[in-house]
């Protein structure tokens, strides 16, 4: 009888430990995403200086900040939680890779920290 009750108690402990680890992991991921969102807002407000070199200036003057004519790009940066991964942070805006990586005619303007890109 002691063996059976010991097994039941251990199974309960295992479930409690698994639940506690899942909760701690979820909180750590949420904290990381909050920090990424704050860093992205700073990256846009500093015109690229947060993650390294400031973004190259435009060739022609404009009345809006670089990469922020409509707010769509910054507003699109989001996170997706996936049980198979910790999570994904990025954007689905079709022109974002051209700005982040640069092209022959468009200078590179880093949007995400290199560890994420």
Query: pLDDT of 21-68, one tens digit each?
Result: 888 888 888 888 888 889 889 999 999 999 888 999 998 999 999 999
d(CA 93, CA 68) in angstroms, rounded, equals 13
110 lies in some domain: no
Q: How many domains does the chain have?
A: 1
Tens-place pLDDT, residues 62-77: 999 999 999 999 888 8
106 lies in some domain: no
CA 63, 72, 114, 105 torsion-angle sign: negative
Q: Copy the structure tokens of residue 79.
A: 């996170």
63 lies in some domain: yes
The domain in which residue 97 lies consists of 2-101
d(CA 86, CA 59) in angstroms, rounded, equals 40
12 lies in some domain: yes
Write down the pTM of the prediction: 0.71
117 lies in some domain: no
* Element housing 78 (H / E): strand 78-80
Give residue 78's pLDDT: 81
d(CA 26, CA 66) in angstroms, rounded, equals 34
> Longest Cα pair distance anywhere in the chain, in angstroms?
82
d(CA 117, CA 102) in angstroms, rounded, equals 13
d(CA 52, CA 41) in angstroms, rounded, equals 15
Please tell me what DSSP assigns to residue 50.
G
């Amino acid at each position: 009888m002691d063996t059976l009750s010991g097994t039941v108690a251990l199974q309960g402990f295992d479930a409690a430990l698994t639940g506690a680890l899942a909760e701690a992991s979820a909180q750590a991921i949420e904290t990381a995403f909050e920090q990424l969102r704050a860093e992205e807002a700073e990256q846009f407000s500093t015109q690229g200086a947060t993650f390294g070199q400031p973004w190259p200036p435009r060739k022609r003057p404009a009345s809006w900040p670089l990469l922020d004519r409509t707010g769509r790009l910054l507003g699109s940066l989001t996170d997706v939680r996936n049980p198979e991964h910790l999570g994904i942070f990025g954007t689905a805006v079709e022109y974002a890779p051209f700005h982040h990586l640069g092209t022959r005619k468009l200078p590179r303007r880093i949007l995400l920290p290199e560890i994420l890109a």
